[in-house]
Amino acid sequence: MNLVPHPTRYLFFTGKGGVGKTSLSTATAIQLADQGRRVLLVSTDAASNLDEMLGVPLRNAPVAVPAVPGLSVLNIDPQVAADQYRQRVLAQMAEASTEERDTVREQLSGACTTEIASFDEFSGLLAGGAQDFDHVVFDTAPTGHTLRLLSLPQAWSGFLQDNDRGASCLGPHSGLKMQESRFNAALATLTDPALTTVVLVARADRSALAEAGRSAQELAALGLNAQRLAINGVFPAAQASDAVAAAIARQEAAALADLPAALRPLPQVQVPLRPFDTVGVGALRQLLSDTPPGLSALPPAPADVQAESFGALVDQLAQAGRGLIMVMGKGGVGKTTLAAALAVGLVQRGHAVHLSTTDPADHLGDTLAGSLPGLDVSRIDPKAETARYIEKIMAARAPGLDEQQLALLREDLASPCTEEVAVFHAFSRTVAQARSAFVVLDTAPTGHSLLLMDATGAYHRQMTREFEGQPALHVVTPLMRLQDPAYTRVILVTLPETTPVSQAAALQDDLRRAGVEPWAWVLNRSLLATGTRDPLLQARLTGEQAQVRRVASGLARRLHAVPWQAEPPVGLPALQALATTPVSGASS
């Protein structure tokens, strides 16, 4: 099974979180290497799990995969990339004064430098930085973050054109001609169909296909027209008499029959659902095999695992009367649905709630499908927040500036990194609202949220430096609010599968290093409660059972479970039922 029968030099796999981008991109990279090609597999996701899937450590430089001759893997680590980027920019200023170097060093300490540094590494690969390889396969972050990444070559090329004054989070403009040529080369590579192919990955699910359709249009607007569609995990029901299997097959058939218009012209490949988790080279090779794998014997009855209902979680959260509830996790695990259900449930219990999202993809409106008295819904819109931030800065700084200074300020605010600063300020405002009411925050997928947390930490360090030695001033930063267990409760959402649980555990470790302790875990869409007898689904239950035990045996301080439902909980009535109807534990 070839997802790309005539592979170009650069292959991008993108799509909604949880659709299997990493599995399909890695399986394709292995397939190309097995054919004798030299392949570099690159993850642009800050929360990559390629190390677990391939059994090799991830670094900011190519690492050979011993089990697959010809394959190397590279993870663009934001922190390492940022450190290396700062060193390169400062090295270009060898002849500058100490004062100038200190000024640039301060400019490069901002959180947006982390994103720009990752982008600089990405541009280098597209501009000829991977000459030792025949193919470069990109396993990207979920859609919203990837569209931002792919738009940056155009944005920075335009910003730097004929601009040699001032400075930005890229460094001093006068020393950026090398980067400008790199960005132009990256843009030319991305828009050349002979060099670059984009594989839109989706599931046979209406929301995933709708997001893939929107992505197809936005990518075409950026000039990326060589697109293909891969529909992953298509379920072939083996027993028509099994109610669960029949419901899944019926949902998928309806979604595929109503394919978005932007996807219909694209070459399409369907990858069947496999009975195994795609962890390990052997499983990844089987993923694209034309020979169906055999099914194992039926698993034993699942052991009893104590997990409270989702309604009980809402009851416990409601007792605080106010505060910030952050719903976090890997893309595709159901964060938006559960964040919306939490907000609706708190309103049911008599509380006013502000529900917001930091996810560029923004699915809250589709999930709620209506309005509810007492529920205020908003979105941290990057474009709108950037315009608001620029207006605020111009109003504060423009008075008193001469024409040259005003021109420099406008140029600096036109920098694409202004968007990252603006989004952080909007996030800070949203966090502060939880002082007097409930704020439920549906966060972006893990990698993007970690970058936002990095910005929060950078701001905290900046404020503590500025106000050090001034005991009369009481400074409360957003990070301090996130670290306060009486103010913030983090809910980690996962599916009972290997990769989502591993990423949730890694996110928990990252949060703890930042001094933020997760409050509860939610296992979403558990099949263990359904009693299915379909052979393929039962084969998958063995892995699910192991993951439920893994979470219950020490990862989660509080554990709640939501069983798989024949109809996805979309719309206010379904969300209200999810927040109020008692459900059994994960094992029932």
Dist. CA 350–CA 486, nearest whole Å: 20
20 is catalytic: yes
User: Phi-psi bin for 400: left (phi > 0), alpha (psi -120 to 50), beta?
Assistant: left
The string of DSSP codes covering 40-55 is: EEEE--TT--HHHHHT
**Is 21 a residue of the active site?**
yes
Block residue for tokens 């390492």: 80
Could you tell me which residues are beta bridge partners of residue 523?
494, 561
Measured distance CA(59)–CA(175) in Å, rounded? 28
CA of residue 73 relative to chain centroid, distance:
20
Active site residue 114: no
β-strand pairing of 268-272 with 520-526: unpaired
The two structure tokens encoding residue 408: 């420099």
First-to-last C-alpha distance (Å) of the chain: 37
Q: In 3D, which of 400, 405, 504 has the Cα closest to residue 445?
A: 504
Tell me the C-alpha to C-alpha distance, in Å, between residue 522 and each of 320, 338, 484.
19, 9, 21
Task: Tell me which of 499, 526, 532, 587 is the catalytic residue.
Answer: 499
The single residue of 22, 207, 337, 430 carrying the catalytic annotation is 22
- Beta strand extents in 341-486 (DSSP E only): 353-357, 375-377, 438-442
- Please give the angle made by the CA atoms of 251, 256 and 258, to the nearest 5 degrees: 100
45 is catalytic: yes
Catalytic residue among 15, 16, 17, 23: 23
Other residues' Cβ atoms within 10 Å of the Cβ of residue 86 = 18
Is 46:331 a contact under the CB 8 Å cutoff?
no
CB atoms within 10 A of CB 412: 18
What sign does the CA torsion over 376, 346, 487, 45 have?
negative
What residues have CB less than 8 Å from 554, skipping those under 6 apart?
none
- The beta strand positions in 186-239, using DSSP E, are 196-203, 227-234
Residue type, 195: L
Please indicate whether residue 335 is annotated as part of the active site: no
User: Among 15, 17, 20, 329, which one carries the catalytic annotation?
Assistant: 20
Give the separation between CA 149 and CA 164, rounded to whole angstroms: 24
| Contact assessment for residue 338 and residue 495, using Cβ atoms and an 8 Å cutoff | no
Residues 15, 25, 28, 45: which is the catalytic one?
45
Distance of CA 352 to the CA centre of its chain: 29
Catalytic residue among 14, 17, 21, 335: 21
Q: Which of 15, 17, 18, 323 is catalytic?
A: 18
Q: Is 18 a catalytic site residue? A: yes
In this structure, what token pair is assigned to residue 166? 């001032």
The answer for residues whose C-beta is within 8 angstroms of residue 387's C-beta and 6 or more apart is none
Catalytic residue check, 23 = yes
Active-site positions read 18, 20-23, 45, 499
